[in-house]
Amino acid sequence: MKNYLVLIPARAGSQRLPGKNIRQLGDKPLIGYSIDYAKENDLEDIVITSNDTGVLDYAVKSGVQTVERPHALAGHQEPVVTAIQHAVNQLRQQYDAVILLQPTNPLRPKGLLKDAIAIFEREDCDSLMTVSRNEHKLGTISNNRFTPYNYKMGQRSQDLEPLYYENGLLYIFKTELLKEGKLLGENNHPLVVDHPFAEIDIDTEADFKKAKLYLKFYN
- Residue 103: inside a domain, yes or no? yes
- Residue 141: inside a domain, yes or no? no
- pLDDT per residue over 76-107, tens digit each? 777 899 999 999 999 989 999 999 999 999 99
Q: Compute the distance between CA of residue 56 and CA of residue 113 in angstroms, rounded to an integer.
A: 24
- Residue 28: inside a domain, yes or no? yes
Cβ–Cβ < 8 Å for 95, 45? yes
Cα angle 2, 5, 125 (rounded to 5 degrees) comes to: 50
- pLDDT per residue over 152-209, tens digit each? 998 888 888 899 999 999 999 999 999 999 999 999 999 999 999 999 999 999 999 9
Please check the confidence at residue 114 and state whether its pLDDT lies above 80. Answer: yes
- Residue 158: inside a domain, yes or no? no
Please check the confidence at residue 4 and state whether its pLDDT lies above 90. Answer: yes
Please check the confidence at residue 18 and state whether its pLDDT lies above 90. Answer: no
- Residue 193: inside a domain, yes or no? yes
Q: Compute the distance between CA of residue 179 and CA of residue 175 in angstroms, rounded to an integer.
A: 8
Q: Output the pTM of the full model.
A: 0.94
The CATH number covering residue 74 comes to 3.90.550.10
Parent domain of 32: 4-134+165-218
Q: Compute the distance between CA of residue 78 and CA of residue 90 in angstroms, rounded to an integer.
A: 19
- Residue 117: inside a domain, yes or no? yes
* Domains of the chain: total: 1
pLDDT at 1: 66
pLDDT at 159: 85
Q: Compute the distance between CA of residue 121 and CA of residue 105 in angstroms, rounded to an integer.
A: 24
pLDDT at 52: 92
Residue 150: how many CA atoms within 13 Å on its side-chain side? 14
